[in-house]
Structure 1
Amino acid sequence: MTVNDIISGESEYLEFKQEVPKKSEVYMKTVVAFANGSGGKIVFGVEDSTFKVVGINQEDAFSIMDGITSAICDSCTPMITPIVTLASVEEKVVIVVNIMPGSQRPYYLTAKGKENGTYIRVSGTTRPADSFVLRELEFEGVNRCFDQNYAAPEASVTEDEINSLCNKMYQYAVEHCRDGEAAERIHRLTRQNLLSWGFLVKRGDDYYPTNAFLLMTRNLLPQATIQCAVFKGRDREVFIDRREYDGDIITQLDAAYEYVLRNIHMSSEINGLYRTDIYELPTDCIREMICNAVVHRSYLHPSSIQVAVYDDRVEVTSPGMLFGSLRLKDIKEGISIPRNRALVYAFTYMNIMEHWGSGIPRIIRRCKELGLEEPELMEIAGSFRINLFRFSDKTRIGKSTDKVMMSTDKIRKSTDKVRKNTDKLNDNHKKIIQYAEEKGAITNKEVQNLLKVKDSRALKILKELVEAGVLKKEGKLKGSYYKLK
């Protein structure tokens, strides 16, 4: 084994000690911090600044290992059981203490008590846990989430408020469903759904809102906002513009997303009757980044979400460290431990999120497809940050542009067919063609909603487009739909 073999992981999960200190508290804080986070290793016998292997006296190694194990078991509450092993590095013996992520959080030094003896790892260093971090660790220890927690004794909710939130989420889900047929299958929410998700709790015959319910409605948490800004250059020295969005978290998400779109470069392709806007960055990735911040942030943390636009990147900072035992490499592989389970249920239903853990891998894959630099993920000062890098020439190039041009070309060809085969190309035809291209298909019901017409009128317009050779009908009876030829 070499030093490189030992440090093959991220350094924040590893600490070197030249020797075993006489006072165990010197390294016991790190033991507690590892147990409260993603786990880690302490290696005795390696200088922490130079990585020089000095080794441990082999004759004393086993007694030292027993002493370390006893000290850890006796000093921490709840008890932490380490895995202590010997390793040979550069022909010298070192002691490796492996601390697994704990499930009975918070862990703390018994002598100092929970308030003063709880520690966490932040950017490779061990530090005392702030009060809001301690509270979150307590939620983790009993497998509870802040958003599903009963808001306050004086909080109340009316039947109208419950119905209003159910309707609001249903309408949002339908509007953001990409598949017309799937939109028809979206079920309407009931009070029972909100109970099962953790938006409501029942006490006797009465219902009370949880934090998730309040965040989605009358959000009054001062930290539950999104701060947006545009900076000149690549740092935060000079503001060009800034905004702060409050209110319910869905309104904030939409507002922050539109803010970024207004402040990045956009070009247009004009083909026939249609103009297609082409943004320099993939808009689905921008929305996913902000969505992840809203749904996975710590609402106990006193800071707001920050969305910053620089000359070279779009940066989204989400308050709160990675949740549970997650590591950066886990997120890239699609592993997810939801911090706010109620919000995850709601965002998935509303078609804001797809599947748990799929967001970051999809962003990375999308950027690779478009020739963008791989997004940067990092933990910084107790928060999670993702950077989406812009093209240096401020234009969108590569496969994305080709796909957009193919798309607009397909629409142009469709409109040409209408011109040749119908007496008059009207706005209704244009709307249906554009909708079918964007969504992949269109149903009779969607035409009714799109054009605000009755069933018979919708069928007549669809028949015109079928006869013109623009659309083709698929399926039978109620399951039928129309696609561009």
Structure 2
Amino acid sequence: MLQESNRIEFKAELNDKLEKEVVAFLNNREGGILYIGIDDNGKPLMLSDIDSTQLKIADRIKNNILPSTLGLFDIVIEEIDNIPVIKILISSGLEKPYYVRKQGMSPNGCFTRMGTSSQPMSTAMIDDLYSKRIHNTLRNIISPRQDLTFAQLKIYYQERGLELNEKFANSLELLTPDGKYNYVAYLLADENGVSIKVAKYAGTDKVDLVENEEYGYCSLIKATHQVLEKLKVENITRAKVTNTKRIEKNLVEPIPLREAVINTIVHSDFSKEIPPVFEIFNDKMVFTSYGGLIAGQSEDDFFSCSSMPRNRELMRVFKDVGLVEQLGSGMSRILKAYDKNIFHISDHFIKVEFPFSLPTETTIIANGDDNGNDIPEIIKILEILEKNAAITAKEIAVQMNISPRKVSRLIKTLKESGKIIRVGSDRKGYWKIQN
């Protein structure tokens, strides 16, 4: 059962305390979740006109809180005991202190979480946070070019049923305070100087480079899709052949791989002009982003699945075009399949290392002409042997309409892998399938 905590707050209905609670979570180191439609005892209540309420919430958070909250919150519907309630996921912001616009940056407008409640900040706390505020976000860095176009970005929005009007540069925060294109715009533009490297090595180290691709010099959204497609191709399927079944498994679990690719890209510190790198070895994939942990973020925060986006403007666009589902969801999907030890965190880099899944039994690569095409015939032979253990290779060849020589080769493969053994002589013996 859900309970209120430092990161969870319940409200029975939308009221005038919405901004206060959201500000408190923005100023909280771990962000938080605000539920609308749950009473203080954790009991869900039926909300009237839930769609309209969602729109009101989004409008109030965007317009009544400063600094900008775009990219820092997400509103979804969640069912609790079959009753739909509104769930507002709020990230910890990088430009603390956040405050209620009409109250200003004062104890009346700045709040933080203390236990299960939101409390006003003292003037000393406000001054301290303001002195540490990160101003050098991508939004405030001027683009190296001002002749930018965004045809690719508009297509990705159109594919989601969204249109970018003539004021999209302002609404997506692609402009500096003085109206020039910023570095976010540069990354999302049709042409830029940023590329993402995908390197492939023959062995387990970087000695033998066999492929070095670059995806980029285009919208970061397009480059992300290209990297995802490349790694999807490289994430081949291995098949484990049992008595009568073929069990397939990717080298890396597809969902965690996708989430890690997106996290690596969207959370990289592009301000230092060091793009993310993706490396493929014969026993693992390694993704590296520059930037380390965000100032004020601990490793516990990093793994807590609470979102603290380095580049909230990029995060907002990635969410708009469907690359990100909801804040903080990517890490939870990775940790559902892998242990935390796949992450390696240093002062300046974060690496995630996915070891390949290698079944302990006979493994056949499902891609490729050398081995993959034999899998159906190997399975068929096992089926035939299970029905008639004394059958000869010649009889199998006739039954399968292939050459006796190929049958002999496939049986040899099965013997060498330990899947079958011969009991008795060649003339009077029989085949035994090993479990």
- Structure scoring higher RCO (CA < 8 A, sep ≥ 6) equals 2
Higher helix share: 1
- Classify the TM-score, shorter chain: 0.3 to 0.5
Report the TM-score when normalising by structure 1. Answer: 0.42
